[in-house]
């Protein structure tokens, strides 16, 4: 989907005073990054900044990147209300590479066709410092028939082997399907990747 679609969606949500996504961080991102020592972090496809804001609240120096400026504007307002300072960048995760390598790169539910997702993962790896951590989670292809929620277009769902292949060269701690309980008690099927860049 285009930045126009997402800008319109975020702008409508802001006008209604309702978030598009949860204000809380993604539970898996919180779990796997919560024990890491704070350093520099990048949240790719940050949307309204829920993961970026949580990392900043834990002492990370955070850059939040999204191609929808309206989503980042919501994040900026939340950051100001919470007294947090972040760097906000309007850019496409499939083309943007950080000029300064970071200790941590996260992204959650960046649903793209395989070629574009591979480009985003490549850019995330290029944005990592040696020894840095990549943590990513997205709707898995199995979710279409066996899980709840998520995109209905198979082309937009992550393939486990495609993700593993795109992360080749990293030291992979986890790359697997992950069952996630939704708010209504249904089970969604995600792909997770947790890996580090060799020092």
pLDDT digits (tens, 9 = 90+) for 53-96: 999 999 999 999 999 888 899 899 999 999 999 999 999 999 99
Contact 37, 57 (CB under 8 A): no
Intra-chain end-to-end CA distance of the chain, in Å = 36
- Burial of 148: CB neighbours in 10 Å, binned 0-12, 13-18, 19+: middle
State mean pLDDT over 45-50: 92
User: What does pTM read for this prediction?
Assistant: 0.91
For residue 35, what are the domain limits? 3-196
Residue 154 has pLDDT above 70, yes or no: yes
Residue 193 has pLDDT above 80, yes or no: yes
Q: What is the pLDDT of residue 70?
A: 85
Q: How far apart are CA 51 and CA 62, in angstroms?
A: 10
Contact 52, 105 (CB under 8 A): no
Contact 135, 121 (CB under 8 A): no
State mean pLDDT over 96-115: 96
Residue 121 has pLDDT above 80, yes or no: yes
The strand pairing partners of 178, in sequence order, are 190
Q: What is the pLDDT of residue 24?
A: 84
Q: What is the pLDDT of residue 184?
A: 87
State mean pLDDT over 110-135: 97
Please state the domain count of the chain.
Answer: 1
The pLDDT-based confidence of 159 (bands split at 50, 70, 90) is very high
Q: What is the pLDDT of residues 9-37, one digit of tens each?
A: 656 666 666 665 566 899 999 999 999 99
CATH of the domain at 19: 3.40.50.150
Q: What is the pLDDT of residue 86?
A: 97
Q: Give the closest residue to 179 by CA, choosing from 130, 137, 151.
A: 137
Q: How far apart are CA 152 and CA 154, in angstroms?
A: 6
Q: What is the pLDDT of residue 165?
A: 97
* Dihedral sign (CA 117, 122, 126, 130): positive
Q: What is the mean pLDDT of the chain?
A: 92
Contact 157, 51 (CB under 8 A): no
The phi, psi pair for 127, rounded to 5°, reads: -85, -5
């Amino acid at each position: 989907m285009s930045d126009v679609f997402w800008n319109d969606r975020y702008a409508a949500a802001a006008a209604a005073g309702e978030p598009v996504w949860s204000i809380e961080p993604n539970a898996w991102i919180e779990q796997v990054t919560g024990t890491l020592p704070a350093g520099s972090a990048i949240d790719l496809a940050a949307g309204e900044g829920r993961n970026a804001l949580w990392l900043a609240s834990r002492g990370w120096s955070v850059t939040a990147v999204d191609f929808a400026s309206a989503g980042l504007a919501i994040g900026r307002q939340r950051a100001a209300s919470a007294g947090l300072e972040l760097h906000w960048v309007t850019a496409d995760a499939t083309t943007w590479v950080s000029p300064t390598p970071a200790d941590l790169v996260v992204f959650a539910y960046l649903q793209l066709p395989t070629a574009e997702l591979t480009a985003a993962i490549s850019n995330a790896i290029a944005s990592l410092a040696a020894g840095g951590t990549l943590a990513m989670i997205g709707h898995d292809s199995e979710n279409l028939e066996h899980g709840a929620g998520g995109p209905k277009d198979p082309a937009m769902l992550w393939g486990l082997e495609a993700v593993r292949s795109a992360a080749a060269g990293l030291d992979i701690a986890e790359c697997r399907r992950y069952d996630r309980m939704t708010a209504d008690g249904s089970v969604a099927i995600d792909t997770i990747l947790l890996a580090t860049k060799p020092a």
